[in-house]
Amino acid sequence: MNILHDFYTKYLNTPAFRKIIPITEEGFYRPQVEQYRVISSSSNDLLYAGGRTGKEPKKDFKSKGPYQLPQKPSNFKFFFIYQKADKATAVTELYRYLHSGWKDDRFPFPKMQDYIKVPFELDITKNVEFESVENAVADVRNAVKNADWLPDTQYMALFVNPVPKLEKDETRKNIYYKIKEILLYEGVLSQVIKSEHLYKNGKPNSYFNTFLPHIEIAMLAKLGGVPWRLNRPTNNELIVGVGAFYSVTRKSRFVGSAFCFNNEGIFKGFDCFKGDDTISLAGSIREAVAKFIAVNYTASRLVIHFYKDIGKKRIRTQPANLAHLGLEYTCDSCYHQ
């Protein structure tokens, strides 16, 4: 709470800020006792397909279905990227689970087409097989560069990553990021699955069915679908998430910003800057606001959500960059952890 008071005193409770936004002189809003209330039990209701509602995605998604399927394109094709040694084990198992489901009398799991309502159409001509981790990146780059991609089709690569989760060699760990970058340049989506999660010690993982809901829902979202959303009216507001992280390998702090154009959670953009480049960060927010106004004409509010400890010296609010757009500024949830 002290951080919020410091922020208010230093940045908001000043004549310069009040000229831009005439906030109340009482400072923080203090509700009366009679205004206190328990959050409604319907506040965590989620919407699924056909307007059906539920509260627990883990239980409800299977029976209610995704709120919104991917819109464009209508054609999706999948292919595998894997190490040759994993083909007969991990890759074969993953294909079976996605294509036919998890066959278990106690805890069965449907095939992908029945679970996320997206057909699992495999294009084996796009599969990329590499002999070793050391030449994986080169092999993937060559295959992707020379692939014949069909028009009006969204491809997704299923990368069966042979590098263990606890791998200490940074070079081996980084092949995932390098392969993902190669795919992104070609407009190919990707989903990674650790081979050790699929097949270990000479036998399939008997608990891999617990991974499948997370993997397939992530695939649906990456393809442009919406698994579920809060059951509340759509508001005409711009939501900006700002977060900071420290890269141990690069010994540097970075700041990222992500944008949504309404409270449905539809992702609209992302930027990343060096931790001390607050001018570019403010510029990216200003640009997002301008685009929002151009499309929506008016906005009910701007919500800026700071996530993680960005540091007092690194982040400075710059409301003057937003004022001339005529948008009411509301810092809805500014906090530090």
Q: How does DSSP assign 210-232, residue by residue?
A: GTHHHHHHHHHHHTT-B--EESS
The answer, yes or no, to whether residue 100 has pLDDT greater than 90, is yes
- So what's the pLDDT on residue 249? 66
Non-local CB neighbours of 317 within 8 Å, separated by 6+ positions: 11, 331
**Residues 239-250: tens digit of each pLDDT:** 777 777 777 666
- So what's the pLDDT on residue 279? 82
Work out the pLDDT band at 263, boundaries 50, 70, 90: low
- So what's the pLDDT on residue 329? 40
Cα-trace Rg, the chain: 24
The answer, yes or no, to whether residue 330 has pLDDT greater than 70, is no
- So what's the pLDDT on residue 40? 80
Residue with tokens 């809805």: 332
- So what's the pLDDT on residue 262? 65
Burial class (CB within 10 angstroms; exposed 0-12, middle 13-18, buried 19+) of 168: exposed
Of 8-22, 65-79, 271-285, where does mean pLDDT reach its minimum?
271-285
3-state secondary structure of 74: coil
**Residues 270-287: tens digit of each pLDDT:** 778 787 787 887 888 788
**Of 119, 118, 184, 130, which is closest to residue 157 (Cα–Cα)?**
184
Task: Return the DSSP state at 211.
Answer: T
The answer, yes or no, to whether residue 310 has pLDDT greater than 50, is no
**Residues 146-164: tens digit of each pLDDT:** 999 999 999 999 999 999 9
DSSP string, 162-182: -S-TT---HHHHTHHHHHHHH
Average pLDDT over residues 313-319: 47
Q: Residue 289 carries which side chain, given as an amino acid letter?
A: V
The answer, yes or no, to whether residue 218 has pLDDT greater than 80, is yes
Q: Say whether the peptide bond before residue 164 is cis (omega within 30 degrees of 0).
A: no
Average pLDDT over residues 250-274: 73
Tally of CB atoms within 10 A around 220: 22
Non-local CB neighbours of 193 within 8 Å, separated by 6+ positions: 90, 94, 158, 159, 160, 161, 211, 215
Residue with tokens 């992104």: 184
Task: Return the DSSP state at 93.
Answer: H
182 close to 147: Cβ distance less than 8 angstroms:
no
- Cα four-point dihedral sign 206, 125, 68, 256: positive
Q: Residue 18 carries which side chain, given as an amino acid letter?
A: R
Which tops the pLDDT comparison, 327 or 114?
Answer: 114
Tokens at 129, concatenated: 């097989």
**Of 193, 51, 186, 187, which is closest to residue 112 (Cα–Cα)?**
193
The answer, yes or no, to whether residue 304 has pLDDT greater than 90, is no
Of 30-44, 175-189, 299-313, where does mean pLDDT reach its minimum?
299-313
Element (H, E) at 145: helix 136-145
* Rounded distance between C-alpha atoms, residue 303 and residue 6, angstroms: 20
- Greatest mean pLDDT range, 205-214, 243-252, 266-275, 303-312: 205-214
Work out the pLDDT band at 321, boundaries 50, 70, 90: very low
Non-local CB neighbours of 88 within 8 Å, separated by 6+ positions: none
Average pLDDT over residues 91-119: 94
Average pLDDT over residues 184-204: 94
* Maximum pairwise Cα distance, the chain: 70
225 close to 265: Cβ distance less than 8 angstroms:
no
- So what's the pLDDT on residue 123? 96
- So what's the pLDDT on residue 270? 75
